Amino acid sequence: ETGVTQTPRHLVMGMTNKKSLKCEQHLGHNAMYWYKQSAKKPLELMFVYSLEERVENNSVPSRFSPECPNSSHLFLHLHTLQPEDSALYLCASSQDPWLAGAVTGELFFGEGSRLTVL
């Protein structure tokens, strides 16, 4: 138990569906992250939120839409995904390094949401 909870753990969706992934952290952290993990690729950072403000990441397609209503919750809204978007999506939290002197500390990860796009 890392203090970061992700739901659902598994999700199968068609390309025309709309679904959301949810992440909740109970650690009092002020930064939350979405990572994508595909087979044989390094972990890819998708989005960073600090104090509920998003850090822009222009390389992520608009079919992925993050939402951070408060510092404990993070969502990833999914819309018209492609089969190549199938992956393990990991949420993480930390104390924001940019507020703490720009040195990254430990990231706490959730168990991930395994997404399959048909």
Partner 1 sequence: SQQGEEDPQALSIQEGENATMNCSYKTSINNLQWYRQNSGRGLVHLILIRSNEREKHSGRLRVTLDTSKKSSSLLITASRAADTASYFCATDAVGMNRDDKIIFGKGTRLHILP
Q: Does 53 bind partner 1 (CB under 8 A)?
A: no
Site for partner 1 in 97-116 (CB under 8 A): 97-98, 102-112, 114
In whole angstroms, how close is the CB of 51 to partner 1 at the nearest point? 13
In whole angstroms, how close is the CB of 22 to partner 1 at the nearest point? 15
Does 42 sit behind a cis peptide bond, omega within 30 degrees of 0 on the bond before it?
no
In whole angstroms, how close is the CB of 50 to partner 1 at the nearest point? 9
Site for partner 1 in 25-44 (CB under 8 A): 40-43
